[in-house]
Structure formats: C-alpha cells, structure tokens
C-alpha cells in the first residue's frame, strides 16, 4: 500500500462520504507505512477515477443540477445570458465545488461530452453547465426568429431549422459537421448548401452566433493561476 493507491481510494470514497448517516463514529487506526519514493511527487486528479465511477458521479451531479434548474443562475445559462463573478460562485455552491480537486473532478467528468458537442477544450464552468442543461427553447427560437422571418423558406427548410433548434435545446451547442449526418442528412442528403443555396452561409453564421456564449471570454475553468 503506497500513497498513490491511498489517494485513489480517498478520491473514490469522497463521492460517497456525504451519504453516511450522521452520528457517533468509531475511530479506525491503521498500521501501514508510506512507501513513496523520496523526492517523488504525486499529483492527484480526476484521472484516478474509472469510467464507471465517473458515470456514477455524473448521475449524482445531474440529479443535483436537475433539482436546481429553477435557480436564477442556471436559468441564466439556459437563456444564454452573461454571468457575473457572483453567479459563478453561486454555481460552485450549488454543485458543492468547494476545492480545486472538486472542480477538477467535475471538469473531468463532463469535458469529454462538452468536446463532443463543441469540438473545443478547456471550457468555462458556465459552458460546461450549458452543455449539460441545454438551452431554453424560447431563447433559441428568438435567436432564429429574424433569420426565418426574412426568408421565404419551404416546409422542408423550416423543418431543418427546427431540428437545429431542437439540438440547441437538448445539447446547448450545434457543430457544423453534424448537419451532414443523420438525422439532418436523412432530411436532405446534399447538406445545408444543397438545401438552402445562397442562404446556407447565413444559416451557418446564425448557428455560430447562438453557439457563442455571451460571456465565453471568461478564462478556462477552474482557474489554474
């Protein structure tokens, strides 16, 4: 038994320790000694978790997020409104991310999903939350309203735009490349350029606009400085 193994065990138990019933607890003593090589440095991190443990963690955190969907700060994320520093602190409180290790674990648990939805790395906390909770339908429809109103789209073109809106609502983001894959390619096999012609450029510009979080200029999270 060495320090690295103990640290991995500690990190795994930390996710469960809060569920222990309060009350008198017996003290447990150990009789093992550390075997860390002199001068070696072990940097604990979320990589100590296995995939099934991260899945269990995501399930637990998703329950916490769902219980707080009506909180103002999460509502602002869902409506693509900019967050203040105080809002970000409130998000951390809601998610119980009080230590740098807590934040790293949360980021590790969700950043792969964020990358799959956006193609980007090192998201801010609000961008991570947006990829989890998605966007409010009315907010997304408002972003596309003038684009639709200024065009004389066919029913198929409108259905294509509606599917894009659905993806924003579900995932929070839409990558350009998925418009060439099912279910979009099932709707029109020649892609947006074939379906929208000259209007395709404006469609991609509008998607980029909605993808851009109002406050995405915030630094990557957690702050490593």
In a domain, 184, yes or no: yes
Q: Shortest CA distance to 125 belongs to which of 225, 15, 216, 224?
A: 216
In a domain, 207, yes or no: yes
In a domain, 199, yes or no: yes
Domain span holding position 145 = 137-211
Mean pLDDT of the chain: 83
In a domain, 144, yes or no: yes
Q: Higher confidence at residue 26 or residue 169?
A: 169
Rounded to whole angstroms, the Cα distance separating 186 from 194 reads: 13
CA dihedral 27, 28, 33, 39 (to 10 degrees): -60
Q: Shortest CA distance to 132 belongs to which of 207, 44, 66, 201?
A: 66
**How many structural domains are present in the chain?**
1
Confidence band of 200 (pLDDT split at 50, 70, 90): very high
Confidence band of 216 (pLDDT split at 50, 70, 90): very low
In a domain, 194, yes or no: yes
Rounded to whole angstroms, the Cα distance separating 47 from 184 reads: 36
Is the pLDDT confidence value at 86 over 80? yes
Task: Please give the C-alpha separations between residue 153 and each of 89, 165, 171, 198, in angstroms, as whole numbers.
Answer: 44, 16, 25, 12
Confidence band of 123 (pLDDT split at 50, 70, 90): confident
Is the pLDDT confidence value at 120 over 80? yes
Look up residue 171 and give its two tokens: 């995932």
Rounded to whole angstroms, the Cα distance separating 63 from 94 reads: 12
In a domain, 56, yes or no: no
pLDDT digits (tens, 9 = 90+) for 136-180: 999 999 999 999 999 999 999 999 999 999 999 999 999 999 999
Please state the pTM of the whole predicted model.
0.73
| DSSP, res 19 | T
DSSP calls for 24-84:
------------PPTT------GGGS-HHHHHHHHHHHHHHHHHTTTSHHHHHHHTT----
Instruction: Work out whether the CA dihedral 150, 152, 157, 163 comes out positive or negative.
Output: positive
Strands (E), the chain: none
Look up residue 10 and give its two tokens: 């500690």
Q: Shortest CA distance to 216 belongs to which of 82, 113, 116?
A: 82
Confidence band of 35 (pLDDT split at 50, 70, 90): low
User: What percentage of the chain carries pLDDT values higher than 70?
Assistant: 72
Confidence band of 99 (pLDDT split at 50, 70, 90): very high
| 77 CB neighbour count, 10 Å cutoff | 30
In a domain, 119, yes or no: no
In a domain, 189, yes or no: yes
Rounded to whole angstroms, the Cα distance separating 159 from 156 reads: 5
């Amino acid at each position: 038994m060495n320090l690295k193994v103990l640290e991995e065990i500690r990190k795994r138990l930390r996710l469960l320790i809060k569920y222990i019933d309060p009350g008198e607890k017996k003290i447990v003593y150990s009789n093992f000694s550390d075997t860390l090589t002199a001068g070696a440095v072990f940097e604990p991190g979320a990589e100590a978790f296995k995939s099934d443990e991260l899945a269990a963690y995501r399930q637990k955190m998703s329950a916490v997020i769902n219980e707080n969907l009506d909180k103002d700060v999460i509502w602002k994320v869902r409506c693509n409104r900019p967050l203040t520093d105080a809002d970000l602190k409130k998000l951390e409180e809601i998610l119980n991310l009080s230590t740098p290790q807590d934040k790293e674990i949360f980021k590790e648990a969700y950043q792969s999903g964020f990358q799959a939805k956006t193609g980007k790395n090192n998201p801010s906390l609000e961008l991570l939350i947006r990829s989890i909770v998605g966007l409010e339908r009315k907010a997304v429809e408002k972003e596309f309203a003038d684009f639709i109103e200024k065009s004389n789209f066919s029913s198929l073109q409108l259905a294509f735009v509606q599917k894009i809106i659905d993806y924003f609502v579900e995932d929070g983001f839409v990558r350009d490349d998925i418009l060439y894959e099912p279910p979009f390619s099932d709707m029109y096999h020649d892609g947006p350029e074939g379906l929208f012609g000259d209007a395709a450029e404006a469609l991609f510009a509008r998607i980029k606009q909605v993808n851009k979080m109002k406050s995405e200029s915030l630094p990557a999270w957690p702050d490593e400085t």
